[in-house]
Chains A and B, each alone.
Chain A
């Protein structure tokens, strides 16, 4: 859309978000706490970090929380009463600073969560959250979003898109809701001129050349003939089965469901689960189709880079590099996959 573009001074961002938060929105921002960058609800006076590497814990925690209540129940006599837990988001929320890769990750999760049945808990949070995305200026050591077509720029699926072009943010408008947001605080926005637009393009170009890692995506098709490649075993031998690569992945969406009863009242809740864990596929009696760690390792990689694409037409990996960051034994996704597919 040939929308107008704007700029915001870096120094104004905190006040801008403060004003938005005073309107009807909850605002979530990247901020520093205990030395690391995290997404947290914005509070007055909170430092919003703008030139940061991506937070390790991905924003999926606000759409598919690590633990989320599904159903509340009460045991009564021979039966029970049950109702939908109020874990859904009924107010509007603004997520500021989300990176292009993580926006793509939400687009990934949208697909299964709309497939055949709607996952209303997730979809409601999606619908009620405005995406104020921010393009990346500093790819992390393990980032490869550019290889996956998921960064460093973002084409759509945002309400507003910011780019840090020095002492100001360049703002692209993606939706009417995004434009409305600007209209609630017009005093912070200036109209962008050609020079600003140029600065933005130059910035994106510059970042594109900064990636240290590239996944040879053209050769990913070879994976289907690599099921018996010995590298999988090499990776499995190293893996300490922490599940971290699943938990931390912005596009991993698998969950477990458990009941917790306190007296007569209880809650059925779901929590992040992962295909790297042995119990994920074990069935009653002990039979397990993916008993060996190497089978689980393959499931994760093939699901990410082949199966999901075959079903939904896009890869389930956005190249954020978190699974490598979080892996205690440093199983580097790009290095190993390139090795397997004979990539660069």
Chain B
């Protein structure tokens, strides 16, 4: 599909990055729904119970499906086992990385740290680099040139979007970044968000991972079987589809360069299984507004603030029904976006600054 050259410069060291800092769009004050402190405190409360329960289920399902896949290796019966294993390895680790990175999943910090490390390895995100990139994502959510985690840039690269479902490009970038970091090289873009004193740690993790992958490849060669790679590494490809399917909905087709999460994030109602895999990140506006609230309290938070938020998207399918046409339209007009309508009970958007964007989108 042909696209016109983008007016947006997504480089973290480029023109729009500088502009965002100069204009105060970066590190701005974001809109928050008012919640009385007492209620907010209750919502923020941490507990180990829900995450321990979910982690036992997750690890048990991961081990059983992996064992089943290995047991039936060489027959068609291994396919359903790999299907489950792949999603648990290559998708549910996205949300485990995310929640444990915030430190909200468990009350006990070492538990967050352990699951964070495991999830980072499986989802192929350097634990240091991605902690800092996600910090920036929360400071400058979908601010062009500042947010390193914009998954669909404008105009959208639809080939890239489709390839994300099988993790090819992500894994390719993850592996080349890992090898580059393992060689002691931190890129100029990485240096914009990883503080200097943290950079040696990023290098150390890259080296440990390189050793693990090298050992896995050696085992595959030694045994003359793909099985080790089907269990370590490749699930990030064949199991990525679920986290991409739900992840694209977080911000896809919505506004950029605004400072109100109601305009650039999407809350989507979805089934219980997807919510288990995704650890409730479907309540995405709520998460961005109040990152202190643990995943298990997000449904409660949603009930409390929904009067002030755009109506949630009723299903994953409904999300794609609005997002795909928006992507197609952005191929012709990259300024187009889906403007979320607020209910009459909500506090209005700050017009002085969101009006221009709306006009450009018409």
A binds B: no
A-side residues, CB < 8 A to B, are none
B-side residues, CB < 8 A to A, are none
